[in-house]
Chains A and B, each alone.
Chain A
Amino acid sequence: MTTEFEAVQPIAQDELAQAIRSATDEVFATMLNLTVQPGEVFVEKEEAVPTSGVVSLIGLAGSWVGSGSLACSAGFAAKLASALLMTPYDSINEDVLDAVAEITNMIIGNVKTALESRLGSMGLSTPTVIYGRNFQTRSTGNQEWTVVPFTIDGDHMCVQLCIVPNSEAARKTTRTGFPIPHLLRNS
């Protein structure tokens, strides 16, 4: 017996990682005039642990569903905003959070575009940005996140993506969340 679920072709972690690396490199080079150094990609299950810093999250929905996010320290978020807006920022404020949200939107939006030729059309949610200390995140389901760490002039950030076929998501009634990057646990 053939089911709709069986007909869905899985997407390789390498393909996701390459899409993330390419989009991040282009956004940073074009909009921020910064060069990113990608680190070793890893896969992580969602988990709930305390963290701090800035996390910007965007949902994807359509033929496949999931979430993408960018996570970094508060200090690096201020540097990103300074580079994007050509205005100095040394702490978190509304401009900084908006800048991080837009950078995430451009990265995940371009990842989406790169994947759509194979996965079908998807829509993007507007970004949600979280800033704080000792916050926890939690999600149901059992999805794997493809996490790509980056180093930029000694600072660190992670761009990550979790995406599953829509039929599977509907059947399991799961919701994707996001893991806490290892890089931020002690920041």
Chain B
Amino acid sequence: MLDVLIVDDSAAIRKILQRVLRQTEIPIGTVYEAGDGVEALETLRKQAVGLVLSDINMPNMDGLEFLTKLRAEQLWHGIPVLMVSTEGTQAKVLEAVERGASGYVRKPFTAEQIKEKLVGLI
């Protein structure tokens, strides 16, 4: 079973992403939620997960800073991280990839787009 961490300041998006995850053929275990990068790092220190889905624009610590801190830890280095954000410019996508993002989906998204990206990551 794959435990997942969803990081987004919108409870609505966290709920939608959790629903999409449950619709995939990937055996999903526990889905943890965090409202920003600070909460996400706290969660990762307590729980081992096999996949992270993260927004970029969030209060306290945004998704790019969270991604940088996550990749800096050897323990978390291999966790696939899919960025899901309204930020859609090529520059922002490249920045996320340079910081260690495994994939990028722009909001608005369809369930199929998320599923396709996950198949390539898991």
* Per-position binary interface string of chain A over residues 82-93, scored 1 when its CB falls under 8 Å from any chain B CB and 0 otherwise: 001110000000
Q: B120: CB under 8 A from chain A?
A: no
In the bound complex, how far is the Cα of B13 from the Cα of A101, in angstroms? 11
Task: Give the residues in chain A near B58, CB-CB below 8 Å.
Answer: 126
B19 at interface, CB cutoff 8 A: yes
Stretch of A13-21, A24-32, A71-79, A175-183 that contacts chain B: A24-32
B-side contacts of A110, CB under 8 Å: 86, 88, 107-108
A27 x B11 contact (CB < 8 A): no
Question: In the complex, A11 Cα to B52 Cα: how many Å?
Answer: 39
Interface centre among B12, B89, B107, B110 (most CB of A within 10 A): B12
Q: Is B91 an interface residue (CB 8 A)?
A: yes
B16 near A105 with CB under 8 A, answer: no
Cβ–Cβ contact B16 & A85, under 8 A: yes
Interface residues on B, range: 20 to 34
CA distance A94 to B15 in the complex (A): 13
Check: B43 CB closer than 8 A to any chain A CB. Answer: no
Partner of B86, one of A106, A117, A121: A106
**Interface pair A113/B86, CB less than 8 Å apart:** yes
With a cutoff of 8 Å between Cβ atoms, the chain A residues found around residue B108 in the complex are 26-27, 30-31, 106, 110
Task: Please count the residue pairs between chain A and chain B whose beta carbons lie under 8 angstroms apart in the complex.
Answer: 61
Q: Chain B residues near A27: list those with CB within 8 A.
A: 108
Interface flag for A155 (CB, 8 Å)? no
- A84-B86 in contact given A26-B108, A126-B59 (Cβ < 8 Å): no
Contact A113–B88 (Cβ < 8 Å): yes
Q: Is B9's beta carbon under 8 Å from chain A?
A: yes
**In chain B, what residue has the closest Cβ to A111?**
B86
Q: Using a CB–CB distance below 8 Å, which chain A residues touch chain B?
A: 26-27, 30-31, 81, 84-86, 94-95, 98-99, 101-102, 105-106, 109-110, 112-113, 116-117, 121, 123-124, 126
